[in-house]
Amino acid sequence: MLLSRLCTGEEVHFYKKSIVLFFNGQRKVLSTGPQNGGLRENLTAVFNNDGTNGAGMAADLIAPTYQEHVILLARRLGLDPDTASGITTAAQMENVAIKSKSYKDLTVTAIVTGGVEVNGGRAGDPAAWDEFSEEALVQPGHGTINIILHINMDLSEGALVRSLVTCTEAKTAALQELMAPSRYSMGLATGSGTDGTIIVANADSPVRLENAGKHVKLGELIGITVKEALKEALFLQTGLSAELQHSVLRRLGRFGITDDLLFERYAEQAAASLNKAWFEERLEARLSQGTVLTQMSLIAHLLDQMFWGLISPSEAMAAADVQLAALGMGVVGGTGAEDTTAALHQILAAVVKGLVAMITADASVVGSGDGQGDEPDGRPVPETTVAITADPDADSIAVPPVPGAETRDEGPDDQL
């Protein structure tokens, strides 16, 4: 299937679970692929392959090594492995996003697939694999962002490498704008653990550009096309979007706060009367209020700044008090010690107590399980102000190294 014809006349095709860009002239290519990776000037095609046996299904290498696997894929696609470079992913090729932007005679096209819901990671997160001892440290998730970036003009070798830097910055910017979480730390994702990128420049063009940084038009177009294409690809693959992220639990999940944790803390109370179904319904109604989301988002950013060293733990706790008080949730409490871990647990404990109280206010009249006193369909959940103060001596929130997340299937990652 022909997906796109670029301004250079080159065609992008979809077949055999792959997207293939065929060249019609001399091209400079910078690839992260295992076969013909690095800088190449003798390639005739590049491709992106869905390495799964179906959405959510496992996949195996079809050769002893990843490089040999990609060589065999190239042959299956009718390509010469010596003049082709490919990258693989667990994302479905049907969810590709293709975006082009132009300025005068310059055109940049981004061809992107992606998924970060279970494999999002932040630069500097703990490694999943020790390549020296060949030992697995943690089990990584499945998901990859793959980008093929086509530029219709010639680039110097330095500009070609610089375009990879700008492309990567744009990818990270898109993830930051979506507040996509790392699944290996409490940070925001900067990519996935298995991302791949191929940059293609038109060596036949009479125009040769020497810079691809943010101060020049080429850099601007790279940034715009990659961000737009990546956001669309993530939405198509997993539904990740601004609308999906408009959720208290999506914002706080990377700190270990989930619906299960909130219900567990509620169920520990002697006066607990809601079953899980009623709890979930009230959670959805009350935590979808805009004021709650904005205040909790501010608390999440306070925690980020505390861990980045931009504010002290005591400053974070004091500022969190302000946000919680705005929701009638009392204060964090505690001593204001300068220990970040202690401050984290005290703030999260106050947040959990406040959210549970907000969700379950007036719970004595609903959710008995016998249908008596339950809220009738369509009845609005009442606005409720609650006063909750965190007990500094209470058990702290258990923040898992890999926060749980509700995801749509993406399949195995490209490392197989």
Q: How would you write the chain as a 3-class SS string?
A: CEEEECCCCCEEEEECCEEEEECCCCEEEEECCCCCCEEECCCCEEEEEECCCCCCCCCCCCCCCHHHHHHHHHHHCCCCHHHEEEEEECCCHHHCEEEEEEECCEEEEEEEEECCCCCEECCCCCCCEECCCCEECCCCCCCCEEEEEEECCEECHHHHHHHHHHHHHHHHHHHHHHCCECCCCCCECCEECCCEEEEEEECCCCCEECCCCCCCHHHHHHHHHHHHHHHHHHHHHHCCCHHHHCCHHHHHHHHCCCHHHHHHHHHCCCCCCCCHHHHHHHHHHHHCCHHHHHHHHHHHHHHHHHHHCCCCHHHHHHHHHHHHHHCCCCCCCCCCCCCHHHHHHHHHHHHHHHHHHHHHCCHHHCCCCCCCCCCCCCCCCCCCCCCCCCCCCCCCCCCCCCCCCCCCCCCCCCCC
Q: What is the pLDDT along the chain (416 residues), one digit of tens a residue?
A: 999 999 999 999 999 999 999 999 999 999 999 999 999 999 999 999 998 876 655 557 889 999 999 999 999 999 999 999 999 999 999 999 999 999 999 999 999 999 999 999 999 999 999 999 999 998 888 889 999 999 999 999 999 999 999 999 999 999 999 999 999 999 999 999 999 999 999 999 999 999 999 999 999 999 999 999 999 999 999 999 999 999 999 999 999 999 999 999 999 987 888 899 999 999 999 998 889 999 999 999 999 999 999 999 999 999 999 999 999 987 776 555 678 999 999 999 999 999 999 999 876 544 444 333 334 333 333 333 333 333 434 445 555 433 333 333 333 333 33
pLDDT at 273: 84
- Enumerate domains of the chain plus CATH numbers: 2-244 (3.60.70), 257-365 (no CATH)
> What are 311's two structure tokens?
């504010």
Contact criterion met (CB below 8 Å) for 328 and 297: no
The pLDDT value recorded for residue 289 is 84
